[in-house]
Each structure stands twice: as structure tokens, then as C-alpha cells.
Amino acid sequence: MDVGFIGLGLMGRPMALHLARAGHSLHLWARRPASLEPFRDTTARIHASAAEVARHAEVVFTMVGDAPDVEAVVFGPDGIAHGVPPGLTLVDMSTIAPASAQSIGARLAAAGIHFLDAPVSGGEVGAINATLTIMVGGEPADFERVRPLLELLGKSVTLIGAVGSGQVAKACNQILTGVTVAAVAEALNFARKSGVDPARVREALLGGFAYSRILENHGQRMLDRQFKPGFKAWMHQKDLRIVMSEAHRLGLMLPNTAATAQLFNALVGMGLGEEDSVSVLKLLERTSDKNGK
């Protein structure tokens, strides 16, 4: 297929490369020319605008920061929606608010463009290894059309429901991952402050009901002081801001998520937004060590 990809950052770059390696003709545009460098020696065609990408593609993927970025790439000057023949399928894999996905989908439908919201979980490692969890909202026929492409990017691909449903599932994912990352950091910092080896504590907990993938993977990264971003802290802050905004709209009480969102706010405020979300451990350490050991 002729496949467009816009958003060649930490995760988008390896995802696009998977599509190219599978034999699909890749069409690219980037807001930052440096993002295109890894593709200079491939068969990918680089275009002058997002609209040009869409004119040459049957399916276009977008993987950008937030709803305003999606809207700019889709509806802005020389955006995807301009001058594209009806029938194009746009798959947005960014994490945005469900209401934003629904609004974008409705505007595209009026122009004859099919739309799926398909946010992912798994971070940079999942993108590199093509083991992402992909949560999709949209029409079943549109989903089936692009399923073979999605299966090149992830090990779990699930149609949740109508447009916006993928973003609801991703919000649920961010609640669970955010709260659990914070809980693991709290537990390991508690062990350290108690004079007990956090590594031995983690080893013991992995064998009981406290086991989780986050304790296993992220917990080890905390012990290794590996804060290089696989999923940047500012992105988790943004995602939890989406969750809390939706909670206010729905009149829901999310006490654990609210507290975790404040931790990520503080983490970004400390200047650690570009580090991995496991850097929340640093925040807890600095707070607990402020007045001595």
C-alpha cells in the first residue's frame, strides 16, 4: 500500500520504519527536517507538505503531541484534509482527549475521509520491537481495512468502539500506568529510607500479589537509575491532564489519579520533563531527603 506517516519522533520513527520494512511505499513529511534524516537512505518519498503526503497515500498515520498538533497537521495550511480525494483513511495514533478525537472524526467524515483514533501503549521500546498495545476507535470496516498495517506495529490490536473509544481506553491505561509508576517509586523509596535494599524488596514483591509489569520493568529501571526517556514525563503529565479534564466533564472523582497528576506536575516543574516518567522516583527522593537522611 501507499502509506503516509507524519510524526517521526521517539515512537513514530520506528513505527514508520516497520511499515517500510514490510514492503509498503512510505510517504513522509515532518515539521522538523531533522526527523527525516533516518529515512534519507530508504525508498521513502519525502514530500513538501502534509497535503502532498495525503494525495499520494491510501492510509495516513499521524503520531504527534496533542490535539492542537493533530488539528494543525490535518486542518492547517497544506494539511491532510486539503484537496484529498474522498476515501482516504486517517489513523491518528496520538494521545488526545476523546472529545477532540470525535470532533476531528466528524469534520473528516464531512469531507469523505475515514478516521480511526488509535492511541498506543508500550513506549519507545514497544515501538522499536513492534509490540505496542493499540486501542482503536472507529467504524469496523475502516478498522479491518488498516488492521494488517496496525498488526505490523503492535502485538495487541483491539477495536474498542466508535470514534473516541480508543482514546477512552488510552486514558484508562494512563490512569493505571501513572498511578502504578508512582506507587512503585513510593515503595522503593520507602525501602531505601528504611535502610533496606530496594532491589531485594522488589525481588520479593515480584513473587507475590504485588507483582506487576511496571514493578518488573519500570522498577528495574528505577534501581538502575535509567532515566533516559522511553516515555517522557511531560507526556505522562499531558495524558493525566486529559484524564482529569474528562473527569471534571463527567463529574467523576479520581482521587488516586489526581494525586499522581500533581506528582507529574511537580516533576515537570523541577525541570525533569524530558526524562522518563520513572524519574518520579527522583522527586520522591529529593522530598524525603530534604531534611536529612
Bridge-based pairing of strands 2-6 and 59-62 is: parallel
- State the greatest distance between any 2 C-alpha atoms of the chain, in Å, as a whole number: 65
Q: CB-side exposure of 278: number of CA atoms within 13 Å?
A: 21
From the candidates 155, 170, 282, 293, which is the catalytic residue?
170
- 40 Rama class: left (phi>0) / alpha (psi -120 to 50) / beta: alpha
- Give the start-end residues of each E strand in the chain: 2-6, 25-29, 45-46, 59-62, 89-92, 114-117, 120-121, 132-137, 154-161
For 56, the 3-state DSSP assignment is: helix
Q: Based on the residue annotation, tell me whether 170 is a catalytic residue of this protein.
A: yes
Distance CA 81, CA 114 (A): 11
- In our burial notation (b when 16+ CB lie closer than 10 A, e otherwise), range 256-280 reads ebeebbebbebbbeeebbebbbbbb
Please list the active-site residues: 170
